[in-house]
A and B are shown apart, each in its own frame.
Chain A
Amino acid sequence: MALTENRTKRENNRQKHFKRYWQLYAMMVLPIIYFIVFKYIPMFGNILAFRRYRPGMGAYGVSWVGLKYFKMFMQDPAFWRAFRNTLTISLGNLIINFPIPIIFAILLNEVHHVRFKKVVQTVSYMPRFISTVVVIAILSEMLSPSSGLLNMFLQNTFGIEPIYFMNEPQYFRWLYILTDTWQFTGWTAIIYLAAITGISADLFEAARIDGANRIQQIFYVTIPSIMPTIMVLLILNVGRMLSLGFEKVLLMYTPSNSQVSDIIDTLVYRTGLANQNYSYATAIGLFSGIIGIILVSSSNAISKKLTGDGIY
Chain B
Amino acid sequence: MKRYHTKGNIIFDSIIYVVMILVLLLCLMPFIYMLAVSLSDPNAIINNKVSFFPIGLNFEAYKQIFTYPNFFKAYGNTIFYTVGGTLISLIMTSLFAYPLSKTVLAGQKVAMKMVVFSMFFSGGLIPNYLLISNLGLTGTRFAMLLPFAINQFNLIILINFFKSIPTEIEEAALIDGLGYFKILGKIVVPLSKPALATIGLYTAVFFWNDWFNGLIYLNTSQFPVMLFLRNIVNGTSMIGDAAGSADKATIAISIKSAVIITSTLPIIILYPFLQKYFVKGLTVGSVKG
Contacts and interface: CB of A to CB of B under 8 A. Distances in A.
Interface of A: 17, 21, 23-28, 30-32, 34-35, 37-46, 48, 58-59, 104, 107-108, 110-112, 116, 119-120, 122-127, 129-134, 136-138, 140-142, 144, 146-147, 149, 152, 155, 182, 185-186, 190-191, 194, 213-215, 247, 250-251, 265, 268-269, 272-273, 278, 281-282, 285-286, 289, 292-293, 296-297, 309-312
Contact of B288 (A26, A130, A278, A312): A312
What 9 pairs between A and B have smallest CB-CB spacing? Answer: A42-B123, A45-B127, A131-B209, A31-B96, A285-B124, A23-B180, A59-B130, A42-B127, A39-B118
Nearest to A197: B283
Contacts of A27: 95-96, 98-99, 180-181, 184
A265 B124 CA distance: 9
Given A24-B180, A182-B27, A194-B283, A278 B126 contact: yes
Nearest to A271: B126
A272 B180 contact: no
Contacts of A285: 124-127
Contacts, number: 250
Nearest to B25: A123
Given A27-B99, A137-B256, A131 B264 contact: yes
A124 B30 CA distance: 13
B105 A25 contact: yes
Contacts of B122: 39, 42-43, 289
22 contacts: A17-B106, A21-B180, A24-B99, A31-B93, A43-B123, A45-B127, A46-B127, A59-B131, A123-B24, A129-B267, A133-B211, A138-B34, A141-B37, A144-B253, A147-B50, A191-B282, A191-B286, A268-B124, A281-B126, A285-B126, A311-B288, A312-B288
Interface residues of B, number: 93
Q: Which of A25, A34, A112, A281 lies at the interface centre, i.e. has the most chain B CB atoms within 10 A of its CB?
A: A34
B48 interface: yes
Interface string B233-264: 10000000000000001100100110010011
Contacts of A213: 8-9
Contacts of A119: 24
B175 interface: no
Contact of B124 (A122, A185, A289): A289
Given A45-B131, A190-B283, A129 B271 contact: yes
Interface stretch (B11-19, B53-61, B190-198): B11-19
- Chain A interface mostly helix, strand, loop or mixed? helix
B146 interface: yes
B48 A152 contact: yes
Contacts of A269: 125
A137 B233 contact: yes
Contacts of A185: 23
Given A42-B123, A141-B253, 17 more contacts: A21-B180, A24-B180, A28-B111, A30-B95, A31-B93, A112-B13, A120-B24, A131-B209, A133-B229, A134-B229, A134-B260, A147-B48, A152-B51, A190-B282, A190-B283, A247-B211, A296-B120
- Chain B interface mostly helix, strand, loop or mixed? helix
Given A38-B149, A285-B126, A149 B105 contact: no
A149 B111 CA distance: 52
Contact of A38 (B147, B208, B256, B264): B147
A190 B131 contact: no
A28 B102 CA distance: 12
B226 interface: yes
Nearest to A21: B105
Contacts of B116: 312
Interface of B: 8-9, 12-13, 16-17, 19-20, 23-24, 26-28, 30-31, 33-34, 37, 45-46, 48, 50-51, 92-93, 95-96, 98-100, 102, 104-106, 111, 114-116, 118, 120-131, 134-135, 146-147, 149-150, 179-181, 184, 205, 208-212, 216, 226-227, 229-230, 232-233, 249-250, 253, 256-257, 260, 263-264, 267-268, 271-272, 275, 279, 282-283, 286, 288-289
B118 A59 contact: no
Contacts of B96: 27-28, 31-32
A35 to B, nearest CB: 6
A120 B98 contact: no
A289 B121 contact: yes
Contacts of A152: 48, 51
Contacts of B115: 35
